[in-house]
Amino acid sequence: MQRVLIVAFDGAVALDIFGPAEVFTAASNHTDRAAYRVEVVTPGGGTTRTSTSVPIVARDAFAVRPRPGDTILVAGGQEESILAAMANQELLAWIRRAARVAGRVASVCSGAFLLAAAGLLDGRRATTHWRGCERLGRMFPRVRVDANAIFVSDGPIWTSAGVTTGIDMALAMVEKDHGRAVADAVAAGLVLYARRPGFQSQWSEALVSQMEDSSPLGAAVAWIRTHLREASVDTLARASALSVRTLHRRCHEHLALTPRRLIEKVRVEQARTLLVTTRESAKTLATRCGFGTAANMKRAFERELGVAPAEYRLLHAREEPRRRIAS
């Protein structure tokens, strides 16, 4: 039996704790013997309130001795809670000691800030919630932040993006430990819509929200959205009343993107919406969204989202369109 120690603290996000805990616990129902034993630990132990104000009773982390084969999973929390946990030097020291012994160390959402503060992410690829990726990279420049992936494994260190992606990460761990059949059975038992691979982009309106908030490029993004077919680096520069060189500099400063990649991302955002809300063919959507050809759109989707347009449509189409597509 493998032990999973979930590290929580006052204000930790409840789903960061209980989502992975349910995955590991459910895995035992699909193996010959109990696969995991889940324990929640906190600094000092006792009763701790989660982000939902629902209290949990946990063991004192400082009284728990990590063992080889353990999985240490650090939950996330809101800014005030995370900053308080980062300031707890005794907790950071415990995480460092645990990492030297345990077989695997992981974080959910903003828990990555605790791993980074403990020095465990230096030189490693890692992710966190899309809202915190820029800040994680700024506070800990030695971390190679992947703002797209929903979870990342770099050697024994695993990190996941926002909240529910902790469930995806836990399922990937179960698959690694016990095989795909067990992980699929757990996902089915939890009635998950789909198992998402780690390379899948942090889908949602995250990208668009980031761009809209990134002055002075908000107007440029708005222009791309309404001129998808004719958008290019040159036309975007003219519409923004900027030189091409200045446009490149601003895109890099505010979004860490080239103008060409920015245009592609906005096109993909529009195309993915149309894929799940219309029955238009890939060829028609490619033309409508400015890719030119279906092959160009497929390559862009694979770069940005890790899947082809046809796969994205099958995963995300609303129920009635999905039945028609499948037929």
Q: What is the DSSP letter of 26?
A: H
Q: What is the structure's pLDDT at 199?
A: 53
Q: What is the structure's pLDDT at 202?
A: 59
Average pLDDT over residues 231-236: 96
* Nearest to 16, CA basis, from 219, 159, 223, 228: 159
Q: What is the structure's pLDDT at 195?
A: 61
- Kindly indicate the confidence band of residue 273, based on its pLDDT and cuts at 50, 70 and 90: confident
Average pLDDT over residues 278-283: 92
The better pLDDT of the pair 199, 142 is held by 142
* 208 pLDDT above the threshold of 60: no
Q: What are the pLDDT digits (tens) for 116-140?
A: 999 999 999 999 998 899 999 999 9
Average pLDDT over residues 211-229: 76
- Report the C-alpha gap between 93 and 230 in whole angstroms: 55
Average pLDDT over residues 178-198: 78
Average pLDDT over residues 232-261: 91
Q: Is residue 127 exposed (0-12), middle (13-18) or buried (19+ Cβ within 10 Å)? A: buried
Q: What is the structure's pLDDT at 115?
A: 98
Q: What is the structure's pLDDT at 214?
A: 44
- Report the C-alpha gap between 178 and 185 in whole angstroms: 11
- Kindly indicate the confidence band of residue 221, based on its pLDDT and cuts at 50, 70 and 90: confident
Average pLDDT over residues 74-102: 96
- pTM listed for this prediction: 0.68
* 274 pLDDT above the threshold of 70: yes
Q: Are 15 and 78 in contact (CB under 8 A)?
A: no
User: What residue type is 110 in one-letter code?
Assistant: S
Q: What is the structure's pLDDT at 166?
A: 93
Q: What is the structure's pLDDT at 294?
A: 96
* 97 pLDDT above the threshold of 90: yes
The better pLDDT of the pair 263, 214 is held by 263
Which residue(s) pair with 292 in the sheet?
none
Phi and psi angles of residue 59, each rounded to the nearest 5 degrees, phi first: -75, 160
What is residue 221's three-state secondary structure?
helix
Q: What percent of the chain has pLDDT over 70?
A: 89
- Kindly indicate the confidence band of residue 198, based on its pLDDT and cuts at 50, 70 and 90: low
